[in-house]
Structure 1
């Protein structure tokens, strides 16, 4: 399904975004083009999400800026995450914001992913991926309904397949008080990974067709500092 898996340690978020490879965001753009949707992402929402992830995953690098976003809310959400023992354990054992690339065999396209957290068992090599999502949902049932609506199943399948992961855990963090924190195990939901896989496979083929190329094997990319399958142990 994916070949030539490479780990790019030390790559910054900006450098990751600059890599001319296919991302999950590109899959969303391809879907929107197919549906005739021209809606653009809200820059304030993107900034909020970026700073929230920094506050949770890399608190040493978090700091307020002059951007007009609700900093106190971001800090409340990050504190809510860290109050959960399960989340603290994941954050302690996981490696945050690491870029990985691999070639999709069926299309030859090279794909890039950057999981929020990646945990590799030192004994078995079993890989667990964790993704944090902020949500306006009032309860857990409503949050679960967004998994398919926002194509989190597609993201999970793409990351699981590229990284050979056994689990993909979504942590939903409520944006408003009481700032509840919810856990959703994608792989445990019958058929959800398979559904997400069909979504990303179809969109990768659509991207290839939009580029005007036949479906053939691609030349593996070699971005800076590429290292073959170099997972860190915990």
Structure 2
């Protein structure tokens, strides 16, 4: 399914974004284009999520900035995660935000993933992936109902298949007080990973069939005159 797996140890978030490969977010954009959806992500929501993940996964790097964000809410959410015994254990044992790339065999496309936490057993090599998601869901049932709606099943399948993970755990953190923390096991859920796999494979095929942009190249002639020629990538 995936080959040429490579672990990019120590890569920053900025360097990850700069990698010229397909991410789960790119697949969402491909889906939106195919459906004619022009809605753009909310910049403040993206900033909120970024700072929340820093506060949870790398608290030593967390600090407030001049951005107009609900900083106390972000800190309350992170504190709720760390108060939860199961989450504390995951954070203690896991590696935060490790970048991996691999080639999807069926399309030849290179995919990049960056799980929130990767836990690898030193004895068995068994891999467990964890993803933290702030949520506006009012209760656990509504949070579970949003798994398919927001394509978390696709993310779980993509990450698990690329890394050969045995488990994919989604931790939902309710944005409103009392900031409840919910655990959802994606891997054993009947048909969920299979459904997510169908989603990402279909979108990878759609992306692969899209016309690639014309890329200029430069040929150096004997007289040292540079004449641009064009080839399709």
TM-score in terms of structure 2 length: 0.91
Distance in 2 (CA, whole Å) between partners of 1:70 and 1:157 is 32
1:68 aligns with 2:68: yes
Find the counterpart in structure 1 of residue 152 from structure 2.
152
Distance in 2 (CA, whole Å) between partners of 1:211 and 1:22 is 15
1:128 aligns with 2:136: no
Find the counterpart in structure 1 of residue 224 from structure 2.
none
Q: What is the CA-CA distance between 1:10 and the residue it aligns to? A: 0.8
Find the counterpart in structure 2 of residue 202 from structure 1.
202
For 1:120-169, what per-residue CA distance to the aligned partner results, in whole angstroms no more than 9, with x for missing partners? 00000000000000000110000000000000000000000000000000
Distance in 1 (CA, whole Å) between partners of 2:28 and 2:168 is 19
Find the counterpart in structure 2 of residue 137 from structure 1.
137
Q: What is the CA-CA distance between 1:188 and the residue it aligns to? A: 1.3
Residue correspondence of structure 1 range 61-210 to structure 2 within 5 A: 61-210=61-210
Higher relative contact order (CA 8 A, sep 6+): 1
Find the counterpart in structure 2 of residue 21 from structure 1.
21
RMSD: 0.9
Gaps of 5+ in 1: 214-234
Distance in 1 (CA, whole Å) between partners of 2:86 and 2:131 is 14
Question: Secondary structure of the equivalent of 1:188?
Answer: coil
Find the counterpart in structure 1 of residue 222 from structure 2.
none
For 1:175-234, what per-residue CA distance to the aligned partner results, in whole angstroms no more than 9, with x for missing partners? 000100000000111000000000000000000011359xxxxxxxxxxxxxxxxxxxxx
Distance in 2 (CA, whole Å) between partners of 1:143 and 1:175 is 12
Distance in 2 (CA, whole Å) between partners of 1:212 and 1:8 is 26
TM-score in terms of structure 1 length: 0.90
Distance in 1 (CA, whole Å) between partners of 2:69 and 2:212 is 41
Find the counterpart in structure 2 of residue 231 from structure 1.
none
Find the counterpart in structure 2 of residue 223 from structure 1.
none
Distance in 1 (CA, whole Å) between partners of 2:187 and 2:115 is 16
Whose radius of gyration is greater, 1 or 2?
2
Find the counterpart in structure 1 of residue 32 from structure 2.
32
Find the counterpart in structure 2 of residue 57 from structure 1.
57
Distance in 2 (CA, whole Å) between partners of 1:197 and 1:94 is 25
For 1:52-98, what per-residue CA distance to the aligned partner results, in whole angstroms no more than 9, with x for missing partners? 00000000000000000000000000000000000000000000011
Distance in 1 (CA, whole Å) between partners of 2:67 and 2:101 is 32
Distance in 1 (CA, whole Å) between partners of 2:140 and 2:56 is 21
Of Structure 1 and Structure 2, which has the larger fraction of its residues in strand?
2
